[in-house]
């Protein structure tokens, strides 16, 4: 890990000539009797993207983003400034602007903790993913997606695919002496197809990735994604109108865990609970789910898209139990909200980039496996919906109302899956949806690495997962009354 | 807070003009570098923006954020092969590296007949003064005071307002230079200021949140802080006691701020990228009815002071005022040069999207629309992105009010509305006179005569 720190320092600080004394100078500028906490977040990120359509890789792009975000916290107040220039004068100016938040406090010398590099277990490789495959091979990989999709079925009319790799180097220096670096690879392959039959057109999409090099996308995996996208699109060719109204809903394993992210996860983020604006505020210790439900947020899973060795405040990530056997256990915290609530950070302080303030965010959020066989769960349904794929969701944290949008779903009648239905929104109430979970499957799966979560305009990669689950009564937003 | 000095711009002074000129110099430098590295043509957009926002919560300052961003994007063409790159570092070495990165990518992309700059004869030849630049000489302390007034008004509005997410005042100036090797160089700059407020109300242990905002190029055009706070509070209190309704089919009235979303779904289906990929539910619909027969949808890119206004589009093509839908019939797609070539058509000056898209308002005010609806669902909030652009299938979560006998009866939540957008567009029976002019899509409230509402 000290190698990581050295690398980050050489990548970010050395080119600008910034050294330890400069950081000290910056922190003395940021300190004062009213400042409870201050940190400086350096970032150097490279991203490369290639896109295929109409059988050709027609476009590619490369971007470099580097800069520093400086924050000073005083009580509940936060001052924040950032700069994409890393020279000392720009940093001192930004520090002055951030520092101004602490009212009237005169600068005074404070004893800064000695700056010590901290070490953490690494959850992913430090290799720059952009360099893990030659440019020509990146193009070939996308062309292979096209071939696999078209070979799968003659009804495939359009194939679109994209390959994105990111190499993100961050260095966090805290007022408390912390100096932590992380090197984060992230790759993603996405496939989207349109199939036609007569005058009907439908789409399907699939993909995945994680904190890997591009060698993660083996020939087998590329084929799997391409075939999955085609399969989904073909299923939708036969889809009939979805029903409208409240009914039993069985969710498939894996990505449908987006339910947990929306219905439970956001409402358990520390900021909303510190402010008392979440539908879950003040409910720790209460029963919010049936006993079969245990939900965790875990940033420590190696190579997962939502994982981080350390969060964006330099705190080691952990597994945080959110709901245990139906009882609400805990919130997800960053340092700011943790301090104000008198608890410890859970390593959930995340930010989109140096130009954004950190806040409590999820990592990988999932429900642990239960005891039921998935077949048994479906077999138990007299009439309802079986939803296995979703395009996303959203939640109103204060009222607790959440939606998530099914992209592949089926009718279930007398325990049998009958026919596919068109995409429909499912809507429910976060604090009570899990009290209607009557069966939890033994088939826990995590998603393939496709999730991006947006909060207050900031996008961060996340993961979700769950076993098959039966919910007794959720409103399905179809058209068929 | 006397030591706070606003780093936002105070007036469009020499420093801004000079900075804009520097952007133009950088753009030239980028194009020269591209030519030197062998590109047959190139284009670049170089931008900077600066501003700050002050957020107050429960009467105390919560966050002061100073923003200062810059970015440079370059696209190079080697014949019909293309590559792009961007950077936030404007050092000469970084620019050279960035152009090189774009050139490297172009070596590996495939020949594409339609790739290239916009045709030279379509480039804008005059830059119209659209009155977009109105710097706000406001200090952080003043912004804090305004945010306090806004939030105080909201919190004092009703005893049921129990909590707050705060009020924010924001000011911002941005400028961008677009240049290409066909000799085009254009500067677009403008200011934008806004204030918003979100408060929480409580009734019998159940909380509701709603918000309101004002936004304008010129701060004189902002709604008063008291008005923003009051509207936020009214909207929040109105939602208290919300409940589901029975699953039914009924008329739905989209309040103006959410009605604009229907226009954005429409544009999503007639933009070139969706059409040439055949990922649209409105393929081959030029000349065919797509809306109810009295509907007109037009683009007004030259409206003074409007948020979407611009003289030229993202590739230097002159923008122009035109009808996209007239008497319900689709007259034109929304194309940039690339998608136009793919479709064998001409660009419509829409690289980067539409600018100030308006659906022609009717005569009825909001209250009259509620009376006209009689019985149905008034929608004031939409959540979830339940729109399938390929099929037009539409299903979204909503909050709003149940209307009966032409009057609002009770707030509604945890229900969905669903249908197919083709049908919804054809079944618009009224567009209100109550146009929301804050955004790039401008609409009055829209009444649709029959939509499926799923609830209990």
Residue from B74, B75, B199, B414 to probe the interface with A (highest A Cβ count within 10 Å): B414
- Residues of chain B in contact with residue A401, where contact means CB-CB under 8 angstroms, are 383, 397, 399, 413-414
- Identify which has the larger pLDDT, A177 or A108: A177
B2 domain-assigned: no
* Residue A469: both structure tokens together: 């689950």
Residue A406: enclosing H or E segment and its boundaries?
strand A401-413
State how far the Cα of A325 lies from the Cα of A290, in Å rounded to an integer: 7
DSSP β-bridge partners for residue A181 = A171
* DSSP category for residue B295: -
- B296 and B383 inside one domain: yes
Residue A53: enclosing H or E segment and its boundaries?
strand A37-53
B8 domain-assigned: no
Measured in whole angstroms, how far is the alpha carbon of residue A334 from the centre of its chain? 16
- Residue A242 to residue B395, Cβ atoms within 8 A: yes
Domain boundary among B236, B254, B281: B236
Residue from B102, B105, B154 to probe the interface with A (highest A Cβ count within 10 Å): B105
- Residue A81 to residue B65, Cβ atoms within 8 A: yes
- B277 and B229 inside one domain: no
pLDDT at A55: 94
- Residues of chain A in contact with residue B452, where contact means CB-CB under 8 angstroms, are 244, 478-481
- B451 and B338 inside one domain: yes
- B215 and B249 inside one domain: no
- Residue A104 to residue B2, Cβ atoms within 8 A: yes
State how far the Cα of A274 lies from the Cα of A431, in Å rounded to an integer: 18
State how far the Cα of A155 lies from the Cα of A146, in Å rounded to an integer: 13
Cα torsion angle, A218, A220, A221, A227, sign: positive
Closest Cα in chain B, distance from residue A23 (Å): 21
High-pLDDT (> 90) share of chain A, %: 82
* Residue B403: both structure tokens together: 């209307």
pLDDT mean for each 10 residues of chain B (456 residues): 30 71 96 98 97 96 92 97 96 95 97 96 94 95 97 98 98 97 96 98 96 98 98 98 97 98 98 96 97 97 97 97 98 98 98 98 98 98 94 97 98 97 98 98 98 96
B7 domain-assigned: no
pLDDT category, A109, cuts 50, 70, 90?
very low
CATH of the domain at B64: 3.30.2290.10
- B342 and B232 inside one domain: no
The single residue listed with the structure tokens 């001192």 is A92
Interface of A with B in 325-384 (CB under 8 A): 355, 357
- Residue A65 to residue B454, Cβ atoms within 8 A: no
B390 domain-assigned: yes
- From B445, B422, B420, select the one nearest B432 (Cα to Cα): B445
Asked if A156 reaches chain B (Cβ–Cβ under 8 Å), the answer is: no
Closest Cα in chain B, distance from residue A121 (Å): 32
Question: H helices of B76-139, where?
Answer: 92-108
B86 domain-assigned: yes
pLDDT at B13: 56
pTM of the model: 0.94
Closest Cα in chain A, distance from residue B438 (Å): 19
Cα torsion angle, B89, B93, B97, B98, sign: positive
High-pLDDT (> 70) share of chain A, %: 96
- Residues of chain B in contact with residue A56, where contact means CB-CB under 8 angstroms, are 109-112
Longest dimension (CA), chain B: 72
- B419 and B330 inside one domain: yes
- B138 and B215 inside one domain: yes
Residue from B68, B143, B144, B252 to probe the interface with A (highest A Cβ count within 10 Å): B68
- B174 and B90 inside one domain: yes
pLDDT category, A113, cuts 50, 70, 90?
low
B111 domain-assigned: yes
Pairing of β B357-359 and β B441-442: parallel
CB B335, CB B359: distance < 8 Å: no
pLDDT at B121: 95
**Per-residue pLDDT tens digits for A45-78:** 999 999 999 999 999 999 999 999 999 999 999 9
Q: How many domains does chain B have?
A: 2
- B266 and B379 inside one domain: yes
pLDDT for residue A289 is more than 90: yes
Q: Mention every residue, 6+ apart, whose C-beta is less than 8 A from residue A298.
A: A307, A317, A318, A319, A320, A363, A364, A365, A366
pLDDT at A103: 57
- Identify which has the larger pLDDT, A29 or A301: A301
First-to-last CA distance in chain B?
A: 53
Domain of B274 in residue numbering reads as: 242-456
* Residue A80: both structure tokens together: 């924040």
Closest Cα in chain A, distance from residue B51 (Å): 11
B79 domain-assigned: yes
Closest Cα in chain A, distance from residue B204 (Å): 13
pLDDT category, A115, cuts 50, 70, 90?
low
pLDDT for residue A337 is more than 50: yes
Q: Mention every residue, 6+ apart, whose C-beta is less than 8 A from residue B93.
A: none
pLDDT category, A30, cuts 50, 70, 90?
confident
* Residue A191: both structure tokens together: 């496939």
Domain boundary among B181, B207, B236: B236
- Residues of chain B in contact with residue A427, where contact means CB-CB under 8 angstroms, are 384, 397, 414-416, 454
Radius of gyration of chain B measured on its C-alpha atoms: 24
Residue from B204, B342, B386 to probe the interface with A (highest A Cβ count within 10 Å): B386
State how far the Cα of B287 lies from the Cα of B280, in Å rounded to an integer: 16
At A274, is the secondary structure helix, strand, or coil? helix
**Per-residue pLDDT tens digits for A439-472:** 999 999 999 999 999 999 999 999 999 999 999 9
Instruction: State ipTM.
Output: 0.93
From the list A80, A138, A245, the residue facing B63 with the nearest CB is: A80
- Identify which has the larger pLDDT, A97 or B369: B369
Comparing alpha-carbon positions, the chain A residue that sits nearest to B70 is A84
- Residue A481 to residue B249, Cβ atoms within 8 A: yes
- Residues of chain B in contact with residue A409, where contact means CB-CB under 8 angstroms, are none
- B364 and B333 inside one domain: yes
DSSP β-bridge partners for residue A29 = none
Asked if A242 reaches chain B (Cβ–Cβ under 8 Å), the answer is: yes
Residue A454: enclosing H or E segment and its boundaries?
strand A451-455
The predicted model gives A337-351 an average pLDDT of: 97
**Per-residue pLDDT tens digits for A183-232:** 999 999 999 999 999 999 999 999 999 999 999 999 999 999 999 999 99
- B231 and B330 inside one domain: no
B9 domain-assigned: no
At A249, is the secondary structure helix, strand, or coil? strand
Measured in whole angstroms, how far is the alpha carbon of residue B10 from the centre of its chain? 26
Domain boundary among B210, B236, B262: B236
- From A319, A311, A258, A291, select the one nearest A437 (Cα to Cα): A291
- B149 and B178 inside one domain: yes
Length of chain A: 481
């Amino acid at each position: 890990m000290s190698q990581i720190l050295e690398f980050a320092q050489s990548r970010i600080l050395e080119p600008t000539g910034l050294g330890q004394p400069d950081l000290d100078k910056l922190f003395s500028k940021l300190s004062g009797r009213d400042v409870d906490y201050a940190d400086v977040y350096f970032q150097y990120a490279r991203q490369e993207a290639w896109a295929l359509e109409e059988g050709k890789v027609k476009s590619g792009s490369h971007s470099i983003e580097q800069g520093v975000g400086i924050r000073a916290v005083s009580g509940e107040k936060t001052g924040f400034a950032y700069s994409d220039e890393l020279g000392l004068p720009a940093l001192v100016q930004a520090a002055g602007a951030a520092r101004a938040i602490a009212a009237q406090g005169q600068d005074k010398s404070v004893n800064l903790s000695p700056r010590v590099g901290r070490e953490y277990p690494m959850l992913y490789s430090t290799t720059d993913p952009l360099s893990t495959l030659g440019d020509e091979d990146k193009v070939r990989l996308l062309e292979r997606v096209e071939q696999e999709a078209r070979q799968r079925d003659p009804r495939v009319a359009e194939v679109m695919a994209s390959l994105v790799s990111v190499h993100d180097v961050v260095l966090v220096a805290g007022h408390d002496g912390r100096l932590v670096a992380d090197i984060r690879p992230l790759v993603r392959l996405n496939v989207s197809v349109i199939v036609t039959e007569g005058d009907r057109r439908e789409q399907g999409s699939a993909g995945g990735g994680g904190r890997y090099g591009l060698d993660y996308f083996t020939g087998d995996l590329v084929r799997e994604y391409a075939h999955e996208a085609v399969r989904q699109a073909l299923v939708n060719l036969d889809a009939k109108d979805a029903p409208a109204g409240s009914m039993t809903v069985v969710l498939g394993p894996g990505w449908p865990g987006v339910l947990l992210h929306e219905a439970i996860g956001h409402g358990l983020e520390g900021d909303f609970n510190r402010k008392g604006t979440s539908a879950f505020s003040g409910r720790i210790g209460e029963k919010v789910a049936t006993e079969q439900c245990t939900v965790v947020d875990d940033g420590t899973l190696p190579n997962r898209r939502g994982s981080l060795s350390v969060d964006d405040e330099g705190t080691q990530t952990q597994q945080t139990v959110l709901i245990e056997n139906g009882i609400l256990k805990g919130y997800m915290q960053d340092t700011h909200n943790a301090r104000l609530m008198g608890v410890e950070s859970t390593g959930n302080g995340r930010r989109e980039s140096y130009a954004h303030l950190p806040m409590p965010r999820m990592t990988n959020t999932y429900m642990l496996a239960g005891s039921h066989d998935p077949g048994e769960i479906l077999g138990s349904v007299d009439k309802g919906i079986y939803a296995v794929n979703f395009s996303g969701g959203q939640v109103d944290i204060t009222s607790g109302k959440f939606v998530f949008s099914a992209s592949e779903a089926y009718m279930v009648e007398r325990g049998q899956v009958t026919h596919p239905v068109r995409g429909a929104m499912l809507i429910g109430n976060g604090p009570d949806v899990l009290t209607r979970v009557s069966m939890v499957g033994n088939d826990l799966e995590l998603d393939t690495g496709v999730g991006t979560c947006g909060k207050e305009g900031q996008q961060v990669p996340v993961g979700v997962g769950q076993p098959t689950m039966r919910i007794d009564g959720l409103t399905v937003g179809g058209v068929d009354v | 807070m006397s030591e706070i000095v606003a780093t936002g711009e105070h007036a469009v002074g020499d420093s801004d003009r000079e900075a804009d000129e520097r952007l133009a110099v950088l753009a030239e430098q980028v194009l020269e570098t591209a030519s030197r590295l062998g590109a047959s043509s190139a284009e670049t957009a170089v931008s900077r923006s600066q501003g700050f926002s002050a957020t107050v919560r429960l009467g105390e300052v919560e966050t002061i954020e100073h923003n200062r961003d810059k970015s440079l994007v370059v696209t190079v063409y080697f014949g019909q092969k293309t590559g792009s790159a961007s950077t936030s570092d404007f050092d000469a070495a970084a620019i050279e590296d960035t152009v090189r990165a774009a050139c490297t990518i172009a070596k590996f992309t495939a020949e594409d007949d339609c790739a290239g700059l916009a045709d030279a004869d379509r480039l804008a030849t005059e830059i119209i003064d659209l009155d977009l630049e109105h710097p706000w000489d406001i200090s952080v302390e003043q912004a804090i005071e305004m945010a306090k007034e806004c939030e105080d008004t909201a919190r004092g509005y009703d005893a049921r307002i129990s909590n707050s997410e705060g009020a924010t005042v924001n000011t911002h100036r941005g400028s961008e230079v677009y240049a290409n090797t066909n000799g085009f160089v254009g500067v677009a700059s403008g200011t934008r200021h806004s204030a918003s407020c979100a408060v929480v109300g409580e009734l019998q242990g159940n909380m509701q949140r709603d918000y309101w905002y004002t936004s304008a190029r010129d701060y004189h055009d902002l709604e008063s802080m008291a008005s923003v706070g009051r509207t936020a509070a009214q909207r929040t209190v109105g939602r208290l006691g919300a409940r589901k309704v029975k699953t039914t089919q009924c008329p739905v009235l989209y309040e103006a701020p959410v009605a604009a979303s229907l226009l954005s779904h429409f544009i999503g289906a007639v933009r070139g990228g969706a059409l040439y990929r055949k990922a649209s539910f409105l393929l081959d619909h030029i000349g065919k009815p797509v809306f109810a027969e009295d509907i007109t949808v037009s683009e007004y890119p030259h409206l003074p002071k409007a948020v979407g206004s611009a003289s030229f589009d993202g590739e230097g093509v002159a923008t122009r005022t035109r009808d996209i839908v007239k008497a319900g019939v689709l007259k034109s797609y929304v194309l940039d040069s690339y998608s136009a070539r793919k479709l064998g058509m001409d660009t419509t000056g829409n690289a980067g999207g539409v600018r100030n898209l308006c659906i022609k308002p009717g005569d009825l005010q909001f209250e009259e629309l509620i009376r006209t609806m009689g019985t149905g669902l008034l929608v004031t909030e939409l959540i979830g992105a339940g729109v399938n652009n390929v099929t037009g299938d539409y299903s979204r979560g909503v909050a709003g009010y149940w209307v009966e006998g032409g009057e609002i009866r009770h707030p509604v939540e945890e229900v969905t509305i669903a249908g197919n957008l083709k049908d919804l567009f054809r079944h618009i029976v009224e567009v209100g006179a109550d146009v929301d002019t804050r955004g790039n899509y401008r609409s009055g409230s829209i009444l649709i005569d029959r939509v499926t509402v799923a609830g209990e």
